[in-house]
Structure 1
Amino acid sequence: YPWDKSSLKSMPVDLQQFKKLDAYALKVNVKSSVEELVKALLKQARTDLEKVRAIWMWICHHIEYDVVGYHNKSQLSTKPEDVLQMGKSICEGYAKLFEQMCSVAGIQCKKLSGHSKGYGYKTGQTFTGDSDHAWNAVYLEGRWHLLDSTWGSGSVDDSFTKFTYRYNEFYFLTHPALFINSHFPDNSNWQLLKTTLTLKEFENNMLHNSNFYTLGLLATHPETPIIQTVNGKASVSVDCRSSTLFMFKLKGRDEHGLMTLKKQGMNLDIYPQKTGRHKLEIFAKPSKAEASDNIYKCVLEYIVECQSVDKTTRFPKDLHQPVGPSWFSERQGFLRPSHREPVIHTNDGRCSLTFTLGKDIRVLSSLHSDDSSLTEEMGRQHILQIHRGNQIELKVHLPHAGNFVLKIYSKKKSDPGNYDYIFNYLIVCLNTEVKWPAFPQRYNKWMEDYEILEPLSGLLPANRNVQFKLKMHGIAKVLVQAENTYPLTHNRGCWEGTCNTSGCREVFVMVHENANHSFYSYVLKYQVETQ
């Protein structure tokens, strides 16, 4: 059984062809005896595969896990007739009933027992003593196949007090290469693998639950459930076929990590801020919004053992996972990013990012830091957005050294609604000399394809002549208002001129949209340094 990753099952199964049979099996309501029940189920089943399918569907939807019986074995019978009458049992009862029903249907079936990584399994634990689980093997089309109707029927909650029916297709004729991931039979021949695993290998192998495979995920690195940090950092990556969205939780919170999306998976670097053992959970969901259950499902669990803490790598609380551009931001219309990495390092406190924008997109960006003096309003003023055709440039001038989050939002121009958050970058500046003033304040009449060439700083020196150069179109006249008013002259698409800043605290740029009107609109506001 080499697993070619094209199918999760050990034989070709067309689930569409089973639709009618499945629906029929669910409706059968015979409890008088196992023989009568099988007789009723087989009315619609011709092949051995169809017979096994009908039995499987019936058990998965009519027998519930007996959480009370599990805790109190004296109240419990796993005899097939009793399981049928009671409508509930533990794994042993499911497997015996399955075996008995197959026998009545004339199909070879065996009950297998062994260790499982199911309820109560702790990541990285060892298995000792008697086996704790039971399942079945059925003989179809000349060879044996594996299935687990207990796990196919649903799940119990963490406190092991409540069972919920939740049908799981994955455990029907599961490929042995995948089944061994969670089921270790007492007799290794029943692994049905050419090269069998030892119990030690089974214990050390990463547990990939059914969500992992049904979401189309392929591999994980590392392949062992317990990871040691190196210099305070641990790295995990997941490979998958198509665009999948991921999230993580370290000790139940999505912090102290940096996750990036790849076309075929994701990378995650974790920096625990305490030594010791930390539970790391990875969640995934398909990116297509039309997926019926569009929620994140846990696909992996690691234990991160942290020997030393990296105190230098700290992430701002506003940092949102995943970080950096990806197929997701591309899908939202942010193409050809100048910076493909999630972290931007700047020494002089300045950086400039460019994107080619898809059609009909309006962009909003903001800068955040854990330093409380940077308000949301001020955070916006430290970014200058410049549109040139279908290109956008984001110029960022940091107010001080530190770690900043650059958040990028967008909406359709034709859409009156709010902006949607799309993605973010982490900007890191270690140079403590850095202290850039904000850009000039832009008013509503400042069009998105206007451009400030100079002065870029929103804070002008006092008592100086300051040179202005602004790219604006479709206007008749431009004035700079300080203590006095200075007109700018139009020259090759730019409005240019000088203004003197003495005797004033603020400088405004105003435009005349129509030469015949006396009405001016404010477009920019600058502050002047105090003496």
Structure 2
Amino acid sequence: MGGSQQSRHTAGGTDGGHGANPYFITSVKPGVQAMKNQRQLYRKMDKEMTLVDTFWEGKKSLMKDFEPFKLLDQHAIKTPSHLKGDMADLVQHLIGPAKNPTQKYRVLFRWIAENIAYDVVGLRAGAGVSTAQEALQTGVAVCGGYVDLLKKFCEIAELQFDSVNGYDKGANYYVGHDNLDSCSHAWGLIYLGGKPFYCDPTWAAGNVSKSTNTYTKEWREHWFLAEPNHFENTHLPNDQSETTSRQKDQSLESWNLSPKIGPMMYVMKVSLTQREGVLHANEKNEIDINLKMEVLGSIQHFLTSKSTDFKEDIGYQVMHFWKDNKITLHVRLPGPGTYKLDVYATKTLNASTASEGSEMHDKLVTYTIIGQSAKRNTPLNKRRFGSLPPDVLKGFACVSHTKPIIETSTERVVIEYSCPKDGDLLAKLSTENQPTVALKNRMYHERLKGKHAFHIHLPRAGWYYVYFHNDPKSGQYTQFAVFMIHFTGQSSDTNPVFPEGIKWNPLGIYYESNVKCVSHKSSYIRLTKGEGSLAITRPFQSNCPLKFTLNDINSDKFQKSSQLIFAHSNFGKNDLEKSSVSLRIDEAGFYVLHLFIRQTLAMRWLVVCSKGYDGDLFPPSDDSWGPSWDDFKALDLSMTCDAMVNIPNGQHTLKLALGKKKNLTIVGKLVEANGRENLSYQKAVRVDDSDSKFRDIVINLPDEVNEACLELYGCDKSNGNSFPRIGKWLLIRK
């Protein structure tokens, strides 16, 4: 059907292949932008717009003050219907308030759009109204009737107007159309200030739905003094002399193969990466289409098939997501064939200055996509994925992944989200086949400072959905983002792996003490054959020991924790204390490792043990191994070895470095690993004090001993203090 534009839910476009074009970008740069910069970008893009802000520069030059045109619109709409009996009287009445040619043309154009409906019935019968007099009498017309009436009006008003016949990218059109004769159309050129301006009174008046074949009256400002790039993309004259010089070298073939762009392409200042209008999907029948936007808005998309004459939206075969100011549309075709993708955009305008209504929602771009593979893709569960700009502006943004489609060959995935101070996040994991059924025990939620981490363990290969819900402050959670995970490997554990209902996050004293975990980026510790370790650092604090405890996930009892944990500290540069915890767990299961500072819980880690340790556990101990740092500091001592010391063949020498205090007495004592005295150990250790800078701790383990505990005692002889224990070390024969 020439002369009417497709319903907003089935039509769109890009510029037609001539010269340098403002609608195209050459590439989309990858990379992750910092959250702060991303929010600043969206604030800059989130412009408050009036209707005049959407005009191109040529239109703005003729309509600098929009208020008179709003009054003229109302004058045209309220004109008495009985004036239609005499065309000349009608025109004189309409242009009465107009003060210049642009205002004259506006009121005439607006009256036609308001009073002439598209002749759907006549077109179907092959005899649509196409003359000015018939259009005025019947109130209906096809495109030729709209243009002929506007031309007659302009002649009476002494305005220069040319009618143009050619092709359009309207309701019957798809990119690469194989029968352009069915896309015939008529429009006009109005000359104002000696310059030609495009106009399409048919498309400005409303649209015809291809699916229902019904007309809807809807004023569309864009087609009055239309933006040239867009208009030339959607209109091509039969006679190239009936156009501006810009389009004279445009061939019918290149025009037909260019993406179809819609009015919102100019309003939203959108650029495209794909210059071709006919795109070919890959061997998986998938394709990515990228859009770059300078103005913040929202989009919708509809996929239709040539097999149904492009009438029915297939639904949920296209997903879109934002990355900075770029939108990616990921298309998964349901099978081989020819498809049309229509993309729409919405930008809310300033209601006080909009002509009619406060929101613009119209076509952005249309592509034809050809699928040649036999691969069939199941529908998606959602259309919108990832974080949207409004949520990013509130402080919710994914900081671990640039795309909401995660390809992985391992069963473990971590998705991290930033979160505002007073906000919160929740998440749900499900399979593609059962998107509404949550997988239990497959994800745990870790709350960290300024962000949340969601740790996921996938049971088997396949596609998964992760649904995120946010709550800025109100206590009401709403779904705001969806991710897809494609797991192509094999899982080592098909049983549930994470307990439910426990919140994993550092507490206030953890941050107050400047504690940093240097071995793990999360609160998740997975053991290998029952063994694992953890390391943290903090500035040295006197009389502030750290304490670690371990308990079963379902129990508050700690009877075995001392034998499962080997906690020790070492003193590094710049008064930095490094504390390490080695774990040996003899039973598979879930455990919680707690860190206490000043007897206050500071942090907990989830420990997952899939197979128990089959060797000896650690000796029981009521306190930490290694140096007693308060005493080491007081005596100005240092020792570089770990608290667990391997003794090759039972013989070894440890060096204890002295500081400024040289008048020290160091005593070594060997006891059983569990701390009990044993007389046979009395001669197993001696201290050599012949060197003024060091004390050599010489160890000779008895033949029958595989593990023992070395205790050191020290005394400053200058003040006669007693001999406190200044540390203990676990010795293991190797």
Q: What is the TM-score of this pair, normalised by structure 2?
A: 0.58
Which of 72, 94, 101 is the aligned partner of 1:21?
72
With over 3 angstroms needed to count, the CA separation of the structure-2 counterparts of 1:79 and 1:227, relative to structure 1, is closer
Maintained 8 Å contact 1:60/1:149: yes
SS at match of 2:246: coil
Pair 1:248-2:248 in alignment: no
Q: 2:447 corresponds to which residue? A: 387
Pair 1:59-2:112 in alignment: yes
Counterpart code for 1:304? I
Pair 1:400-2:460 in alignment: yes
Q: 1:204 corresponds to which residue? A: 257
With over 3 angstroms needed to count, the CA separation of the structure-2 counterparts of 1:131 and 1:190, relative to structure 1, is farther
Q: 1:518 corresponds to which residue? A: none
Deviation at 1:362, TM superposition (A): 0.8
State the identity %. 19
User: Following the alignment from structure 1 to structure 2, what is the Cα–Cα distance between the partners of residues 441 and 402?
Assistant: 23
Pair 1:38-2:91 in alignment: yes
Q: What is the TM-score of this pair, normalised by structure 1?
A: 0.78
With over 3 angstroms needed to count, the CA separation of the structure-2 counterparts of 1:459 and 1:402, relative to structure 1, is farther
Deviation at 1:332, TM superposition (A): 3.9
Q: 1:304 corresponds to which residue? A: 369
Which of 180, 195, 211 is the aligned partner of 1:143?
195
Maintained 8 Å contact 2:129/2:142: no
SS at match of 1:112: strand
Q: Which moved more, 1:367-376 or 1:297-306?
A: 367-376
SS at match of 2:171: coil
Deviation at 1:168, TM superposition (A): 0.9
User: Following the alignment from structure 2 to structure 1, what is the Cα–Cα distance between the partners of residues 84 and 243?
Assistant: 34
Correspondence list, 1:123-522, <5 A: 123-126=175-178, 132-158=184-210, 161-196=213-248, 197-214=250-267, 216-232=268-284, 233-251=286-304, 252-257=313-318, 259-286=320-347, 297-309=362-374, 317-318=380-381, 320-325=382-387, 327-335=389-397, 337-370=399-432, 375-376=437-438, 378=440, 381-412=441-472, 414-417=473-476, 419-435=477-493, 437-443=495-501, 446=503, 449=506, 485-486=557-558
Q: 2:13 corresponds to which residue? A: none
SS at match of 2:84: coil
Q: Deviations over 1:3-59 (max 9, x none)?
A: 878844644234344111211221112223111111111221010111111111111
User: Following the alignment from structure 2 to structure 1, what is the Cα–Cα distance between the partners of residues 260 and 115?
Assistant: 28
Deviation at 1:466, TM superposition (A): 12
Q: 2:149 corresponds to which residue? A: 97
Deviation at 1:60, TM superposition (A): 0.8
Q: 2:168 corresponds to which residue? A: 116
User: Following the alignment from structure 1 to structure 2, what is the Cα–Cα distance between the partners of residues 372 and 384?
Assistant: 20
With over 3 angstroms needed to count, the CA separation of the structure-2 counterparts of 1:160 and 1:90, relative to structure 1, is farther
Counterpart code for 1:203? N
Deviation at 1:354, TM superposition (A): 3.0
Q: Deviations over 1:459-503 (max 9, x none)?
A: 999xx999999xxxxxxx9975979943679999x9x9999998x
User: Following the alignment from structure 2 to structure 1, what is the Cα–Cα distance between the partners of residues 57 and 533?
Assistant: 73
Deviation at 1:526, TM superposition (A): 9.9
Bigger relative contact order, structure 1 or 2 (CA pairs below 8 A, ≥6 apart): 2
User: Following the alignment from structure 1 to structure 2, what is the Cα–Cα distance between the partners of residues 131 and 305?
Assistant: 21
User: Following the alignment from structure 2 to structure 1, what is the Cα–Cα distance between the partners of residues 423 and 159?
Assistant: 62
User: Following the alignment from structure 1 to structure 2, what is the Cα–Cα distance between the partners of residues 127 and 481?
Assistant: 70
With over 3 angstroms needed to count, the CA separation of the structure-2 counterparts of 1:118 and 1:425, relative to structure 1, is closer
User: Following the alignment from structure 1 to structure 2, what is the Cα–Cα distance between the partners of residues 335 and 62?
Assistant: 49
SS at match of 2:399: coil
Q: Deviations over 1:316-355 (max 9, x none)?
A: 844x444444645422422470222333344442233333
Q: Deviations over 1:106-140 (max 9, x none)?
A: 21222222222223224321456698322222221
With over 3 angstroms needed to count, the CA separation of the structure-2 counterparts of 1:501 and 1:303, relative to structure 1, is same
With over 3 angstroms needed to count, the CA separation of the structure-2 counterparts of 1:55 and 1:393, relative to structure 1, is same
Q: 1:474 corresponds to which residue? A: none
Deviation at 1:72, TM superposition (A): 3.9
User: Following the alignment from structure 1 to structure 2, what is the Cα–Cα distance between the partners of residues 195 and 164?
Assistant: 31
Counterpart code for 2:368? I
Counterpart code for 2:341? L
With over 3 angstroms needed to count, the CA separation of the structure-2 counterparts of 1:316 and 1:478, relative to structure 1, is farther
Pair 1:85-2:146 in alignment: no
Maintained 8 Å contact 1:67/1:162: yes
With over 3 angstroms needed to count, the CA separation of the structure-2 counterparts of 1:61 and 1:409, relative to structure 1, is same
Is there any run of 5+ residues in structure 2 with no aligned partner, and where? Answer: 1-18, 24-53, 305-312, 511-516, 536-548, 570-578, 600-604, 613-734
With over 3 angstroms needed to count, the CA separation of the structure-2 counterparts of 1:364 and 1:136, relative to structure 1, is same
User: Following the alignment from structure 2 to structure 1, what is the Cα–Cα distance between the partners of residues 444 and 555?
Assistant: 27
Larger radius of gyration: 2
With over 3 angstroms needed to count, the CA separation of the structure-2 counterparts of 1:83 and 1:136, relative to structure 1, is same
User: Following the alignment from structure 2 to structure 1, what is the Cα–Cα distance between the partners of residues 200 and 240?
Assistant: 17
User: Following the alignment from structure 1 to structure 2, what is the Cα–Cα distance between the partners of residues 240 and 316?
Assistant: 27
SS at match of 1:24: helix
Maintained 8 Å contact 2:444/2:454: yes
User: Following the alignment from structure 2 to structure 1, what is the Cα–Cα distance between the partners of residues 150 and 435?
Assistant: 67
Deviation at 1:367, TM superposition (A): 1.5
User: Following the alignment from structure 2 to structure 1, what is the Cα–Cα distance between the partners of residues 157 and 56?
Assistant: 26
User: Following the alignment from structure 1 to structure 2, what is the Cα–Cα distance between the partners of residues 241 and 484?
Assistant: 56
SS at match of 2:96: helix
Maintained 8 Å contact 1:479/1:485: yes
With over 3 angstroms needed to count, the CA separation of the structure-2 counterparts of 1:95 and 1:278, relative to structure 1, is closer
SS at match of 2:471: strand
Maintained 8 Å contact 1:437/1:458: no
Q: Deviations over 1:49-90 (max 9, x none)?
A: 11111111111101112222323466x654434422322222
Maintained 8 Å contact 2:524/2:607: no
Aligned length, in residue pairs: 504
Q: Which moved more, 1:113-122 or 1:242-251?
A: 242-251
Deviation at 1:167, TM superposition (A): 0.7
User: Following the alignment from structure 2 to structure 1, what is the Cα–Cα distance between the partners of residues 468 and 433?
Assistant: 20
Maintained 8 Å contact 1:363/1:408: yes
Counterpart code for 1:302? Y
User: Following the alignment from structure 1 to structure 2, what is the Cα–Cα distance between the partners of residues 455 and 138?
Assistant: 69
User: Following the alignment from structure 2 to structure 1, what is the Cα–Cα distance between the partners of residues 236 and 194?
Assistant: 23
With over 3 angstroms needed to count, the CA separation of the structure-2 counterparts of 1:155 and 1:326, relative to structure 1, is closer
With over 3 angstroms needed to count, the CA separation of the structure-2 counterparts of 1:439 and 1:361, relative to structure 1, is farther
With over 3 angstroms needed to count, the CA separation of the structure-2 counterparts of 1:230 and 1:198, relative to structure 1, is same
SS at match of 2:245: coil
SS at match of 2:90: helix
SS at match of 1:441: coil
Is there any run of 5+ residues in structure 1 with no aligned partner, and where? Answer: 470-476, 516-522
Q: 1:519 corresponds to which residue? A: none
